[in-house]
Structure 1
Amino acid sequence: MIIIHARFQLQPEQEQAFLEEIRPLVAASRAESGNISYDLMKDTEKDNVYTMVELWTDSSAVEDHNKSVHFTAFANKAPEYLAARLDVKLYKVEEINR
Structure 2
Amino acid sequence: ADYQAMATELRNEGIRAEVYLGNPKNFGNQLKYADRRGSPVAIIQGSEEAVRGVVQVKDLILGAKIAETATHEEWKDQPAQFECPRDELVARVREILNR
The TM-score with structure 1 as length reference comes to 0.29
Higher RCO, Cα 8 Å, sep 6+: 1
Q: Which has the higher strand share?
A: 1
The TM-score with structure 2 as length reference comes to 0.29
Q: Which has the higher helix share?
A: 2
